């Protein structure tokens, strides 16, 4: 018995495409373009992806920056205390 999505034992119908019907090209799309056209395509794709980004507001950025700085300060303090304690422990044990 399978659920609506299928199961591990029974793959979906679209997964059962025969291998002989797939067309393969030698070189693919990249072989048809020169290096400058590929670079221009890459640049256009980067700009398109950056337009999709949801940028934080100034208040969110300030909040996130404050949280990171406080966290780093706490971690520095913690590592300093542990280092100081291990230093004194080593001096006590070794002389």
Instruction: Per residue of the chain (95 residues), give pLDDT as tens.
Output: 555 555 566 555 555 555 555 666 565 555 577 889 999 999 999 999 999 999 999 999 999 999 999 999 999 999 999 999 999 999 999 98
pLDDT of residue 39: 94
pLDDT of residue 95: 82
Distance from C-alpha of 73 to C-alpha of 9, rounded to nearest angstrom = 52
pLDDT of residue 17: 55
DSSP code at position 1: -
Contact between 2 and 10 under an 8 Å Cβ cutoff? The reply is: yes
């Amino acid at each position: 018995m399978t659920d609506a999505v299928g199961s591990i034992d029974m793959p979906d119908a679209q997964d059962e495409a025969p291998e002989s019907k797939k067309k393969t090209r030698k070189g693919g799309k990249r072989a048809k373009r020169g290096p400058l056209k590929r670079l221009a395509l890459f640049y256009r794709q980067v700009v398109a992806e950056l337009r999709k980004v949801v940028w934080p507001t100034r208040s969110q950025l300030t909040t996130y920056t404050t949280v990171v700085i406080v966290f780093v300060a706490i971690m520095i303090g913690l590592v300093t205390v542990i280092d100081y304690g291990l230093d004194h422990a080593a001096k006590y044990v070794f002389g």
